[in-house]
Structures are given as C-alpha cells and as structure tokens.
Amino acid sequence: MKRTKTAMKTSLGYSEDHAKSGLSTTLPELETWPNQYKGYEITIDIPEYTAICPKTGLPDFGTIRIHYMPDQHCVELKSLKLYIHAYRNVGIFYENAVNRILQDFVKACRPVRATVTGEFTARGGLRSLIEARYP
C-alpha cells in the first residue's frame, strides 16, 4: 500500500518509544485461587481505570471489563484491583493497555476464554471502545 502525504503526517510526533510505552512496566502479580466448578462465566467491571497518555502526559480514564470462563483457576479480586490501579502512573495507549491486561490475565488464570474491554472516557469529542479476546 502506498503511503500518502496525509498518512505520513498522522504519525509525526509519535515515536517507537510512545508506541511501546508501558508494555514492559513491572506491575503487581495477578493471583488466583482453585476453581471448583466448570462451564460458567464471570464478568468483572472496573470503573476506576486510570493511566497516562504517553504522548501528552494527560490522564486517561475508563472502565475495564473482564469477561471470562475459568478453567482451573479464578482471579483473586484484590490482586486484580491492585494490578489495575498500578496503571495510574503508567504511560500507555488504550489499545496497548487492553491487550496487556488480557495477556497478563491469561498468563495468570489460563481461562477457557476471556475478553477484555476498555471503554474510555470521551476526550475532544471522541470516545474509544477497545476489545481484545483470547483465544
């Protein structure tokens, strides 16, 4: 695909460092507990997500929703709360945050399936809804 001048202009000012920001930040470990049942689903809403835009340094706000079918383990909610609140001082784009949360969640819980949705507060007349799924 040929890049136009307009397409090139949209990426000006965004560096590879911006794009990767927050992906390797150390966050609290997600803990689990042994699941006793099969075939049910869990939805967890976290309405107090905050992070920092790596480009502007302005705060981002939103709701993170985790919907999953547990297999052998369920996530321990206090550890999830501490994990999500640790994003407060992390510079990370919405898309990266949602995918990172899914990646870390799947690594800890090994669910049958999981979906992480980020619904971010409107800024400048735009509202974003990001969704990542496993498998």
Residue 71: inside a domain: yes
95 is in an annotated binding site: yes
- Please give the residue range of the domain that contains residue 50: 32-134
Residues acting as catalytic residues: 53, 60
98 is in an annotated binding site: no
Residue 102 corresponds to which amino acid?
A: L
With contact defined as beta carbons under 8 Å apart, do 70 and 42 qualify? Answer: yes
The reported pLDDT for the residue numbered 9 is: 44
Residue 28 corresponds to which amino acid?
A: P
Q: What is the CATH number of the domain that holds 48?
A: 3.30.1130.10
76 is in an annotated binding site: yes
Residue 5: inside a domain: no
| Number of separate domains in the chain | 1
Q: Rounded CA gap, 38 and 114, in Å?
A: 15
Residue 20: inside a domain: no
User: Average pLDDT of each block of 10 consecutive residues along the chain (135 residues)?
Assistant: 46 82 95 98 98 93 98 98 97 97 98 98 91 98
Looking at residue 39, what DSSP letter applies? Answer: S
7: phi > 0 → left, psi -120 to 50 → alpha, else beta; which?
alpha
At 13, list the tokens. 């000012």
